[in-house]
């Protein structure tokens, strides 16, 4: 494992979803190119990961406690790595939030930013000085297509992803001087039981502070459409993990990497019109005028793409 060909990979948020899938995929790499440190806040949630890792657990994959919202936890985790040597940092830990902005408290918003923005920055600040000294390293941030183009009712989540994209856009320029790569991964919907369950639970929740008309559009138009979109065009954590692995193994990875090519036209709307009117009007009509038929639109999108496009990736250029 100490071989010069083996890269030390530190991944945050590995108890489920993309983090779990990616940690296992890298640990089981046929060429044994990676030594993976899979982290999570609570090691009581390790069972799924340990089971999926199988024989790799304890060999090419080890576990560590890490809370990206805690300075001491971050420092302790990196200090416990031999020589503090991290070749690839994968910032995957994140939390989602959806709903009318009036019904989300400032405290809830701050919690999203604490993980999705400051958690990522905290990790980067901890490993970056050592990478600079070695003039080598790769920092990967799991962002979202919502960090490029937002949609209704994702105001706070999108704001957190826009923030980290802006941070990384500036940092990438500085890191080039030190031969350090920085890559943003921008998935669309991720198809997991947890995501679907979360959306269904949100539908049952009250929306205190929001007017009845907004609540109606959110619960009766947006949420059913969101579930249909998840089921029709969502990617699995494994599909996204394959894309991340490909970015890791490319000698000159792109800065921005959309994982779902079905979202390329939506991102293109933003780049096509500097006034922003095109994308704002498109999403308005899609939600408020086409809401009842959006389900069929999504099915048509999938059919017209022959079902295979979502497995290919593009960068918005």
Q: How far is CA 313 from the centre of its chain?
A: 15
Q: How many CB atoms lie within 10 A of CB 1?
A: 10
Instruction: Give the whole-angstrom CA distance, residue 164 versus residue 168.
Output: 6
Q: Is 67 annotated as a binding residue?
A: yes
Candidates 118, 116, 186; CA nearest to 156 is 116
48 belongs to an annotated ligand binding site: no
Q: Measured between alpha carbons, how far is 147 from 166 in angstroms, rounded to an integer?
A: 9
**How many other CB atoms are found less than 10 A from the CB of residue 86?**
25
36 is in an annotated binding site: yes
Contacts of 293 (CB under 8 A, 6+ apart): none
Terminal-to-terminal C-alpha distance of the chain: 38
Is 229 annotated in some ligand binding site?
Answer: no
Q: Is 41 annotated as a binding residue?
A: yes
Q: Is 136 annotated as a binding residue?
A: no
30 is in an annotated binding site: yes
Q: Which of these is catalytic: 57, 157, 222, 263?
A: 157
93 marked as part of a ligand binding site: no
Whether 25 has a binding-site annotation, put simply, is yes
Establish whether 181 is an annotated binding residue: no
222 DSSP 8-state letter: I
Determine the Cα–Cα distance for residues 201 and 215; give it in Å rounded to an integer: 15
Instruction: Evaluate whether 142 touches 153 at the Cβ level (below 8 Å).
Output: no
Is 21 known to sit in a ligand binding site?
yes
Q: Is 251 annotated as a binding residue?
A: no
Q: Which residue has the tokens 């494994």?
A: 238
Residue 157 annotated among the catalytic residues of the structure: yes
- Residues making up the annotated binding site are 13-41, 67, 144, 161
Q: Give catalytic residues, as residue numbers.
A: 157
- Residues making up the annotated binding site for substrate are 144
């Amino acid at each position: 494992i100490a071989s010069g060909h083996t890269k030390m990979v530190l991944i945050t948020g590995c108890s489920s979803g993309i983090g779990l899938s990616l940690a296992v995929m890298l640990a089981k790499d046929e060429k044994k190119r990676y030594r993976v440190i899979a982290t999570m806040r609570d090691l009581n949630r390790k069972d799924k990961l340990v089971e999926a890792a199988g024989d790799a657990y304890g060999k090419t994959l080890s576990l560590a406690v890490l809370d990206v919202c805690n300075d001491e936890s971050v420092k302790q985790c990196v200090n416990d790595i031999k020589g503090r040597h991290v070749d690839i940092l994968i910032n995957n830990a994140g939390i989602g939030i959806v709903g009318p902005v009036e019904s989300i408290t400032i405290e809830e918003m701050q919690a999203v930013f604490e993980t999705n923005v400051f958690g990522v920055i905290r990790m980067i600040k901890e490993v970056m000085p050592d990478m600079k000294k070695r003039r080598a390293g790769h920092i990967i941030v799991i962002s979202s297509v919502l960090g490029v183009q937002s949609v209704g009712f994702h105001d706070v989540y999108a704001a957190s992803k826009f923030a980290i994209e802006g941070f990384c856009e500036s940092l990438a320029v500085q890191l080039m001087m030190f031969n350090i790569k920085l890559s943003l991964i921008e998935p669309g919907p991720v198809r997991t039981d947890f995501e679907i369950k979360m959306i269904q639970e949100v539908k049952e929740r009250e929306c205190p502070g929001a007017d009845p008309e907004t609540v109606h559009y959110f619960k009766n138009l947006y949420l059913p459409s969101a579930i249909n979109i998840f089921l029709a065009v969502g990617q699995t954590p494994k599909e996204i993990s394959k894309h991340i692995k490909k970015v890791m193994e490319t000698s000159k990875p792109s800065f921005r990497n959309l994982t779902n090519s079905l979202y390329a036209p939506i991102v293109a709307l933003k780049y096509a019109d500097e006034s922003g009117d095109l994308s704002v009007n498109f999403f308005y009509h899609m939600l408020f005028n086409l809401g009842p038929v959006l389900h069929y639109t999504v099915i048509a999108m999938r059919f017209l793409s022959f079902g295979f496009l979502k497995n290919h990736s593009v960068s918005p250029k």
